[in-house]
């Protein structure tokens, strides 16, 4: 089973067309991660927290004012922040407002006439912040003022017309004037939310449908200018479970670990866990994966962070097996490899070569994964993919060079990984217990997959998957903190 590619970046145009439905839908708490992951309960016992919920949304906006039947081809607005409040009476400057996503340093410009529908947009924007469950009675979306200085959207679809505008059928762009949206935000009050609010439940996802009537929300003024007067309505239409969330903590201090790497994985036919999605924890140690396809997942977390200049804290990998969808995993403890000491990760390096069927040099895209063996009586999984830390080259493209063997293209790689054995536990709703890392050598196998270099992730070469070890006999790679180990060269043949 090939590793599923991870989306690292979206084109700005894609954000405009595919995300605004969601971003305007973010008015309804799109893909909100709600909660801090629960209270610490010791180094290896984690309670199943009841402090999280997730909301996804869709948008419903019949564009009756859209060209050719209407006046507008686009209605662009620039969003800087999305907030929510549990109180129906809270004013814009009152306490209790919680920021769901902060785009002030990277404003997003979206088209209110987009018909696209998407879910979990806040997670796509990088949000990992949390809220407690409850009945959220107000939602606000803050827009960028047309005369704002500082961070602006790039590209700016409004040109010289500020950052919020309408594009008319004749090709002219006119400024869309804001009333208070740049200060107090576009508001969805309780009277416009079915049931008076949006109820967030632990470990569930509530689908929210947002009616944003862009046509009724644009007022054409007598001076030929246009003003935004938003008309929105929100309602809960379904409850499902399509997300997994939790918090990564230091097993010694029980403090959250920011910038930890978290993978959700599923086993292939050989019971080797392959990456489905990956994320980095926020400042509070939280993470969320949303949406995920049906099934159960294994969650792998680790970290290599620098709390001070010249100091590196590297942690073992902690594996949580058999996590069902709609689950708050709670606190996942990761163990510092040497508590109180600066410990560098291990480095595994090597070379990959690719050759065509006619013994000619042939290029290929190559994906590399570091695998560690695990043992758990309640799981058939034998190996898991361990996150590769910053500075690694988990994806390379082979090409010609002076170091390549005759009639082959080649590339070198480097993977920075934990220099410790993993801690493993099977998820339990009553509290997951993690076994201490096993003793003995820390062993890795490097798994390499070859793809046709055209961006389609079509398997290439024969076979398309190879594994690397310390030598051709197949022995796993033994590593130690700060060490560098070289794997034997992996030679692909029969490449397209």
pLDDT digits (tens, 9 = 90+) for 128-153: 544 456 677 777 878 899 999 999 99
Q: What integer pLDDT is reported at residue 136 of this predicted model?
A: 74
> Which residues, 6 or more positions from 146, have their beta carbon under 8 angstroms from its beta carbon?
161, 162, 163, 164, 175, 176, 177, 178, 182
Contact 378, 372 (CB under 8 A): no
pLDDT band at 158 (very low <50, low <70, confident <90, very high): very high
Read off the DSSP letter of residue 493: E
Nearest in space to 407 (alpha carbons), one of 483, 446, 364, 355: 355
- Give the integer Cα–Cα distance in Å for 22 and 207: 12
> What six digits make up the tokens of 375?
């043992």
Task: Kindly report which listed range (45-49, 225-229, 381-385) carries the lowest average pLDDT score.
Answer: 45-49
Strands (DSSP E) contained in 86-225 are: 98-102, 108-111, 135-136, 138-143, 165-168, 173-177, 186-188, 198-199, 205-212, 218-220
Give residue-wise pLDDT tens across range 234-277: 544 334 467 788 899 999 999 999 999 999 999 999 899 999 99
| CA 111 to each of CA 124, 262, 364: distance values in angstroms, whole numbers, following the listed order | 17, 33, 38
Q: What integer pLDDT is reported at residue 257 of this predicted model?
A: 95
| CA 140 to each of CA 20, 101, 303, 347, 457: distance values in angstroms, whole numbers, following the listed order | 16, 11, 34, 46, 40
Which of 187 and 492 is assigned the larger pLDDT? 492
Which of 71 and 263 is assigned the larger pLDDT? 263
Q: How many CB atoms lie within 10 A of CB 26?
A: 32
pLDDT band at 224 (very low <50, low <70, confident <90, very high): confident
Q: What integer pLDDT is reported at residue 128 of this predicted model?
A: 56
- Give the integer Cα–Cα distance in Å for 160 and 171: 14
φ/ψ of 209, rounded to 5, equals -100, 125
- Give the integer Cα–Cα distance in Å for 361 and 383: 33
> What six digits make up the tokens of 228?
């935004």
Tell whether omega for the bond before 68 is within 30 degrees of 0, i.e. cis. Answer: yes
Per-residue pLDDT at 36 exceeds 50:
no
Per-residue pLDDT at 51 exceeds 60:
no
Give residue-wise pLDDT tens across range 202-222: 554 444 444 556 666 788 887
Which of 253 and 358 is assigned the larger pLDDT? 253
Question: How does strand 72-85 pair with strand 165-168?
Answer: antiparallel
Read off the DSSP letter of residue 326: S
Q: What integer pLDDT is reported at residue 398 of this predicted model?
A: 95
Task: Kindly report which listed range (83-92, 362-371, 397-406) carries the lowest average pLDDT score.
Answer: 83-92
Q: What integer pLDDT is reported at residue 212 of this predicted model?
A: 54
Per-residue pLDDT at 8 exceeds 90:
no
| CA 403 to each of CA 359, 397, 414: distance values in angstroms, whole numbers, following the listed order | 17, 15, 16
The three-state DSSP-derived secondary structure of 458-487 is CECCCCCEEEECCCCCCCCEEECCCCEEEC
| CA 362 to each of CA 3, 460, 464, 496: distance values in angstroms, whole numbers, following the listed order | 22, 11, 14, 7
Q: What integer pLDDT is reported at residue 464 of this predicted model?
A: 93
Per-residue pLDDT at 102 exceeds 50:
yes
| CA 149 to each of CA 76, 94, 107, 163, 309: distance values in angstroms, whole numbers, following the listed order | 18, 26, 12, 11, 33
Contact 332, 249 (CB under 8 A): yes
Nearest in space to 428 (alpha carbons), one of 292, 290, 318, 321: 321
- Give the integer Cα–Cα distance in Å for 13 and 18: 8
Taking residues 271-293, what's their average pLDDT? 87
Per-residue pLDDT at 301 exceeds 90:
yes
Taking residues 165-182, what's their average pLDDT? 86
Q: What integer pLDDT is reported at residue 192 of this predicted model?
A: 63
- Residue % of the chain over a pLDDT of 70: 74
Residue burial 47-63, b: 16+ Cβ < 10 Å; e: rest: bbbbbbbbbbbbbebeb
Per-residue pLDDT at 68 exceeds 60:
yes
Task: Kindly report which listed range (69-83, 158-172, 395-409) carries the lowest average pLDDT score.
Answer: 69-83
> What six digits make up the tokens of 90?
């809270």
Question: How does strand 72-85 pair with strand 108-111?
Answer: antiparallel
DSSP, collapsed to helix, strand or coil, labels residue 15 as helix
- Give the integer Cα–Cα distance in Å for 205 and 213: 25
- On average, the pLDDT of the chain sits at 78
């Amino acid at each position: 089973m090939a590793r599923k590619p991870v989306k690292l970046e979206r084109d700005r145009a894609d954000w405009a067309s595919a995300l605004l439905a969601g971003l305007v839908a973010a008015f309804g708490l799109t893909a909100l991660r709600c909660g801090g992951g629960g209270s610490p309960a010791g180094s290896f016992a984690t309670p199943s927290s009841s402090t999280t919920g997730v909301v996804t949304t869709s948008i419903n906006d019949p564009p009756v004012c859209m060209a050719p039947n209407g006046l507008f081809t686009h209605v662009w607005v620039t969003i800087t922040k999305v907030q929510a409040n549990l109180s129906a009476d809270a004013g814009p400057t009152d306490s209790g407002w919680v920021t769901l996503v902060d785009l002030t340093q990277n404003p997003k410009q979206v088209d209110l006439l987009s018909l696209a529908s998407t879910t979990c947009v806040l997670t796509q924007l990088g949000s990992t912040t949390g809220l407690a469950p409850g009945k959220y009675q107000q939602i606000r979306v803050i827009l960028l003022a047309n005369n704002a200085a500082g961070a602006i959207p790039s590209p700016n679809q409004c040109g010289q017309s500020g950052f919020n505008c309408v594009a008319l059928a004749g090709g002219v762009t006119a400024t869309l004037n804001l009333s208070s949206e740049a200060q107090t935000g576009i508001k969805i009050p309780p009277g416009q939310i079915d049931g008076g609010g949006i109820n967030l439940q632990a470990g569930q996802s509530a689908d929210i449908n947002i009616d944003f009537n862009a046509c009724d929300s644009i007022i054409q003024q007598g001076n030929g200018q246009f003003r935004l007067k938003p008309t929105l309505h929100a309602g809960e239409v379904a409850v499902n479970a399509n997300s997994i969330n939790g918090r990564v903590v230091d097993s010694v201090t029980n403090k959250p670990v920011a910038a930890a790497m978290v993978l959700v994985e599923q086993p292939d036919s050989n019971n080797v866990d392959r990456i489905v999605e990956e994320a980095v924890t926020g400042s509070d140690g939280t993470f969320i994966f949303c949406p995920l396809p049906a099934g159960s997942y294994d969650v792998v977390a680790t970290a290599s962070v620098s709390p001070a200049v010249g100091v590196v804290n590297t942690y073992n990998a902690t594996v949580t097996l058999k996590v069902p969808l709609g689950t708050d995993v709670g606190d996942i403890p990761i163990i510092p490899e040497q508590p109180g000491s600066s410990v560098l990760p291990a480095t595994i390096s090597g070379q990959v070569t690719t050759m065509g069927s006619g013994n000619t040099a042939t290029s290929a895209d190559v994906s590399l994964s570091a695998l560690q063996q695990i043992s758990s009586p309640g799981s058939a999984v034998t190996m898991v993919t361990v996150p590769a830390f910053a500075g690694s080259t988990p994806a390379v493209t082979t090409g010609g060079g002076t170091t390549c063997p005759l009639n082959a293209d080649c590339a070198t790689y480097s993977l920075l990984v934990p220099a410790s054995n993993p801690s493993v536990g099977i998820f339990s709703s009553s509290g997951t217990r993690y076994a201490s890392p096993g003793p003995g050598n820390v062993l890795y196998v490097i798994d390499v997959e070859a793809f046709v270099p055209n961006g389609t992730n079509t398997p290439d070469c024969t076979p398309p998957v190879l594994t690397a070890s310390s030598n051709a006999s197949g022995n796993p790679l033994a590593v130690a903190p700060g060490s560098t180990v070289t794997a034997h060269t992996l030679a692909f043949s029969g490449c397209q």
